[in-house]
Amino acid sequence: MTFPAVPIVAAPMGGGPSTPELVAAVSGAGGLGFLAAGYRTAEAVAEDVRATRELTAAPIGVNVFVPGAPADPATYAPYVERLRAEGHPVGEPRWEDDAYAAKLDLLASDPVAVVSFTFGCPDAAVVRRLQAAGSTVWVTVTSVDEARAAVAAGADALVAQGVEAGAHRGSFADDAGDLTLLVLLQLLRAATDVPLVASGGIASGAGVAAALAAGARAAQLGTAFLRCPEAGTAPVHRDAVATAAPTRITRAFTGRQARGIVNRFLAEHTDGAPAAYPEGHHATAPVRAAARAAGDADALHLWAGQAHELAREVPAGELVRALAAEARDALAAAGSALR
Amino acid sequence: MTFPAVPIVAAPMGGGPSTPELVAAVSGAGGLGFLAAGYRTAEAVAEDVRATRELTAAPIGVNVFVPGAPADPATYAPYVERLRAEGHPVGEPRWEDDAYAAKLDLLASDPVAVVSFTFGCPDAAVVRRLQAAGSTVWVTVTSVDEARAAVAAGADALVAQGVEAGAHRGSFADDAGDLTLLVLLQLLRAATDVPLVASGGIASGAGVAAALAAGARAAQLGTAFLRCPEAGTAPVHRDAVATAAPTRITRAFTGRQARGIVNRFLAEHTDGAPAAYPEGHHATAPVRAAARAAGDADALHLWAGQAHELAREVPAGELVRALAAEARDALAAAGSALR
């Protein structure tokens, strides 16, 4: 496939929200749903793909994390020690590669329509292997330099992620700048002809229309789907998304820049949180698991994009159709302003 | 007037760039040019208005700074002392109100089509006075709360400024959040029916189209006009805008958050720069005047939005027409993607 009939993509949301039911509902409505392979074994991803296919025959996508390098323990040791001293249940701050090779093997042998990458640029050989298997390959970028590298590696399309996006910044290294989606789309349109998927802060049909007008072929929304009944969003997270609470970028929860709703853990631990991923993720995993189980909004990572309060509590397929209809209206209205 | 025939506004750019020639060229091409009243006496503003009217009969706008409160000297004394110790020619860090009352008297007695406000919300009585004189009143906002206050004060339209914008954040207090333009437009569209003017990071016809698609009635561009021959941009600033150098928000130059191209002064003085406007402006004014005279890109405030490298070296009227034509094409292309 190249792009879905309805240019709306459900972003891969690791850690629970992107269930097979959510992915199937979005793809079934003519958009494109994404499973999140991150934090899961290759076997669990295979099972997710199988479960999704039982629900829909429509094309689906799978997102894979590109592994980085281990951090020097000296960079995260003081942070881990501080968490421990504060009484938090701290996990082992270990590095691992999120089963990268096994996931690539799975996707090469049992291909899906689109494989997208986050946290880095896959090697050209990896891109070619997946393309040879029949998949389209997307790479997430946050800057023009990253875009050039992804195009050089053979990416079929770029997911342009602006700073307003919820959850992790998809930059290759943990040094993303602060380009907003609208700026990034304009800079990328001037730098490359590769198709763009717009990501970050899109939460309405007008937002979808704006992304398309800025030159994107599709709009990828994550936070906008968090309140859908098909999403596996934790109840405490679901409630927070529905408020107008401010968001902030932090490394406190995982050792990598990510945008979440400001809560006590984020406010108290952003300063001093190290750039060490996934060591930071594993260190705080028990803290977050306990918070999720207890429904404690003050210690859970409440990933959300800046426009989270606009997320609607409606079935995902209905949301895709509503956003597309609103986007059509928005483009027509904009056209009449340019009389 | 309500909105210009071509929905493109040249942002008021204080300190030199927004000359009568630039304003007249933009308004003459069917857009709306803005004079910047900030940092000038009421008499100088009256002269700018007169000079602009000699060049065009088209509607024009004037932007006025709303004064804030004096800062406690303790907040800026260490910064001023540090600059002095480093050998910089430091000015007196004094507070003043930018001749607010005199400028309002001028605009009430000799009205222009649109008066816009920045750095605060004018009193309802001020808004009514200007409206009674025949002007349309716009208020710059960076958040939903500011928008609600501006609507309550009677504003005819809101200039929605995203975090990607160049130069000063137009927030009421110096505590602007980090909402991007696309997010702010979506949130404001959900919160109010007042017409919106989109501002921040717009540098192409596709960007204009995106702003309109997101629900704005017009797009306001500043940095995009900095390289026009009619602009009074300092040569060293003009050169910097044409590069792909990164930008950053800083209080180093004026004591208020503003986005500029990263140079030595910005990099070395952002940490520790106080929230004290206009005291900070006056303290660093001699430093910046010397840098401008010497063509020193390392000590001048190189205000620029994130998309500055897309600014074109073309006459302003030509730029307005080109952006409008590109915006029309972008909307048509976006419409066909939503088939």
pLDDT digits 0-9 by tens, A73-94: 999 999 999 999 999 999 999 9
Residues A324 and A51: their CA atoms lie apart, in Å, by: 27
**Is the pLDDT score of A1 beyond 70?**
no
pLDDT at site B1: 61
Q: What angle do CA B30, B33, B37 make, to 5 degrees?
A: 165
Residues B83 and A68: their CA atoms lie apart, in Å, by: 41
Question: What average pLDDT values come out for chain B (339 residues) when binned by 10 residues?
Answer: 90 97 98 98 98 98 98 98 97 98 98 98 98 98 98 98 98 94 98 98 98 98 98 98 98 98 98 97 97 96 98 98 98 89
pLDDT digits 0-9 by tens, A241-275: 999 999 999 999 999 999 999 999 999 999 999 99
pLDDT band at A176 (very low <50, low <70, confident <90, very high): confident
Kindly give, in sequence order, each residue whose CB lies less than 8 Å from that of residue A145, ignoring residues fewer than 6 positions away. none
Query: Hey, is the C-beta of B12 within 8 angstroms of any chain A C-beta?
Result: no
Instruction: Name which of A271, A236, A279, A225 is nearest A91 in CA terms.
Output: A279
Q: Are B230 and B315 in contact (CB under 8 A)?
A: yes
Question: Directed axis angle between helix B205-213 and helix B316-337, to 10°?
Answer: 60
Query: Hey, is the C-beta of B23 within 8 angstroms of any chain A C-beta?
Result: no
**Is the pLDDT score of A224 beyond 80?**
yes
Residues A22 and A48: their CA atoms lie apart, in Å, by: 11
Residues in B touching A5 (Cβ below 8 Å): 339
Query: Hey, is the C-beta of A191 within 8 angstroms of any chain B C-beta?
Result: no
Mean per-residue pLDDT, A86-112: 97
pLDDT at site A175: 86
pLDDT at site A339: 72
Q: What angle do CA B161, B163, B168 make, to 5 degrees?
A: 70
Cα distance from N-terminal residue to C-terminal residue, chain A: 36
Long-range contacts of A265-271 (CB under 8 A, 24+ apart): A265/A291, A265/A298, A265/A299, A265/A300, A265/A301, A266/A301, A266/A302, A269/A79, A269/A83
Give me chain A's average pLDDT, please.
97
- Percentage of chain A beyond pLDDT 90 is 98
Query: Hey, is the C-beta of A219 within 8 angstroms of any chain B C-beta?
Result: no
pLDDT band at A310 (very low <50, low <70, confident <90, very high): very high
Verify whether the Cβ–Cβ distance A209 to B214 is below 8 Å. Answer: yes
User: What domains are defined for chain A?
Assistant: 8-70+97-232+308-337 (3.20.20.70)
Residues A110 and B13: their CA atoms lie apart, in Å, by: 57
> Cα dist. A44→A41, A47, A276 in Å?
5, 5, 25
Query: Which chain B residue has the Cα nearest residue A259?
Result: B178
Cα distance from N-terminal residue to C-terminal residue, chain B: 36
Residue with tokens 């401008």: B292
Higher pLDDT, A176 or B131: B131
**Is the pLDDT score of A325 beyond 90?**
yes
Query: Is this prediction's ipTM beyond 0.85?
Result: yes
Query: Hey, is the C-beta of A186 within 8 angstroms of any chain B C-beta?
Result: yes
DSSP string, B52-70: HHHH--S--EEEEEPP-PP
Helix (H) or strand (E) holding A10: strand A8-10
pLDDT at site B2: 72
Verify whether the Cβ–Cβ distance A202 to B182 is below 8 Å. Answer: yes
**Is the pLDDT score of A2 beyond 90?**
no
Q: Are A250 and A300 in contact (CB under 8 A)?
A: no
Instruction: Characterize the bridge pairing of strands A8-10 and A136-141.
Output: unpaired
Instruction: Name which of A125, A189, A184, A131 is nearest A156 in CA terms.
Output: A131
